[in-house]
């Protein structure tokens, strides 16, 4: 299991940037510094106030996650976040996107439908990454309003015990939450750490109990888990699909263990024009 830790911005900037390919067709590094500077500059140009930033990285700093919390006065429950994932070891693509965080607890909220970008570290990846940061921040208000709509739909959707059990089973069977995460969710259902908007039996409360439970996942799997979790809840609410039928009770599910930390494939040839970095898995922190 790859160890990760919270780091300061200075620590992240001191990580040695790897050398890129000489022919312009292979590996193209994107520096942590260029990402951080460009995000801050673009927010300032758009008159968007940056409240704070959090960074998390592997022990060697070669895989890093940045979360930039943005001021928003349009909703009482959630605010905007810009997050990115970058790697120096050819194990993860550069990813970034506009998401949201819950004001009372900093739980993350991401959807595959809104502002998500993924790019291999090859060719003009460094230039395209900077252009995408600008494009996403320029449409931040539109994306955020869509996420507010998702949040309101969850607040207005009442859960039954059967639906709760089915969702708990689905997120476990799809490796979004492990057994220890479900133990946290059960505890939160009985005695919530935070007070969220809406009725305690709403989908919004269960959703937040689950995003709270996965605050310990690594930068390698953050967005994939949040995006998948959001998709399950929105499918349930929109009636497009029903949760997988899982008859096992939650009490038995929490005792099971699932390996969700498989080691990504390392790319051996950095000069190859076909750098096959992982496309899935994206943010993580919260």
The 10 Å Cβ neighbour count of residue 71 is: 11
Q: For residues 10 and 123, state if they share a domain.
A: yes
The 10 Å Cβ neighbour count of residue 44 is: 11
CA dihedral 103, 104, 110, 113 (to 10 degrees): -60
Answer whether residue 63 is part of any domain.
Answer: yes
Q: For residues 84 and 20, state if they share a domain.
A: yes
What pLDDT is stored for residue 285 in this prediction?
35
Q: Output the pTM of the full model.
A: 0.72
The predicted-structure confidence for 167-199, as pLDDT tens digits, reads as follows: 999 999 999 999 999 999 999 999 999 999 999
Residue 253 pLDDT exceeds 50? no
What pLDDT is stored for residue 277 in this prediction?
53
Are the C-beta atoms of residues 27 and 271 closer than 8 Å to each other? yes
Answer whether residue 265 is part of any domain.
Answer: no
Question: pLDDT confidence of 151, banded at 50, 70, 90?
Answer: very high
Q: For residues 94 and 162, state if they share a domain.
A: no
Domain span including residue 51: 4-143
Q: For residues 192 and 236, state if they share a domain.
A: yes
Q: Which residues of 250-276 are buried (b: 16+ CB within 10 A; e: fewer)?
A: beebbeeeeebeeebeebeebeeeebe
Answer whether residue 271 is part of any domain.
Answer: no
Q: For residues 136 and 207, state if they share a domain.
A: no
Answer whether residue 275 is part of any domain.
Answer: no
Question: pLDDT confidence of 278, banded at 50, 70, 90?
Answer: very low
Residue 256 pLDDT exceeds 70? no
Domain boundary pick from 143, 175, 207 = 143
Residue 3 pLDDT exceeds 70? no
The predicted-structure confidence for 207-222, as pLDDT tens digits, reads as follows: 999 999 988 777 667 7
Q: For residues 136 and 157, state if they share a domain.
A: no
Residue 250 pLDDT exceeds 50? no
Q: For residues 91 and 127, state if they share a domain.
A: yes
Answer whether residue 246 is part of any domain.
Answer: yes
The predicted-structure confidence for 51-93, as pLDDT tens digits, reads as follows: 999 999 988 999 999 999 998 777 889 999 999 999 998 888 8
Question: Given CA atoms 168, 171, 173, 175 in this order, what sign does their dihedral have?
Answer: negative
Q: For residues 45 and 138, state if they share a domain.
A: yes
Answer whether residue 128 is part of any domain.
Answer: yes
Answer whether residue 284 is part of any domain.
Answer: no
Answer whether residue 61 is part of any domain.
Answer: yes
Domain boundary pick from 76, 108, 143 = 143
* pLDDT, average across residues 268-280: 40
How many domains is the chain partitioned into structurally? Answer: 2
What pLDDT is stored for residue 215 in this prediction?
84
Q: For residues 93 and 117, state if they share a domain.
A: yes
What pLDDT is stored for residue 240 in this prediction?
61
Q: For residues 178 and 204, state if they share a domain.
A: yes
Q: For residues 15 and 139, state if they share a domain.
A: yes
């Amino acid at each position: 299991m790859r160890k990760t830790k919270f780091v300061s911005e200075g620590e992240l900037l001191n990580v040695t940037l790897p050398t890129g390919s000489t022919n312009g067709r292979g590996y193209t590094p994107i520096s942590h510094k260029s990402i951080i500077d460009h995000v801050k500059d673009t927010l300032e140009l758009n008159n968007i106030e940056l409240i704070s930033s959090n960074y998390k990285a592997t022990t060697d700093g070669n895989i890093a996650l940045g979360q930039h919390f943005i001021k928003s006065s349009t909703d009482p429950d959630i605010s905007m976040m810009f997050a990115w994932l970058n790697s120096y070891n050819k194990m993860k693509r550069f990813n970034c996107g506009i998401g949201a965080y819950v004001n009372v607890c900093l739980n993350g909220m991401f959807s595959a439908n809104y502002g998500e970008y993924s790019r291999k570290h090859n060719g003009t990846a460094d230039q395209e990454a900077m252009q995408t940061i600008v494009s996403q921040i320029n449409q931040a208000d539109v994306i955020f309003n869509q996420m507010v709509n998702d949040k309101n739909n969850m607040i207005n959707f009442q859960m039954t015990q059967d639906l709760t059990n089915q969702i708990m089973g689905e997120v476990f069977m799809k490796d979004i939450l492990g057994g220890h995460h479900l133990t946290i969710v059960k505890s939160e259902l009985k005695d919530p750490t935070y007070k969220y908007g809406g009725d305690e039996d709403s989908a919004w409360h269960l959703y937040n109990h689950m995003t709270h439970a996965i605050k310990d996942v690594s930068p390698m799997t953050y967005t994939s888990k949040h995006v998948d979790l959001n998709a399950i809840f929105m499918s349930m609410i929109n009636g497009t699909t029903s949760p997988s039928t899982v008859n096992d009770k939650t009490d038995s599910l929490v005792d099971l263990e699932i390996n969700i930390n498989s080691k990504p494939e390392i790319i051996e040839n950095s000069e190859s024009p076909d750098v096959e970095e992982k496309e899935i898995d994206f943010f993580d922190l919260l």
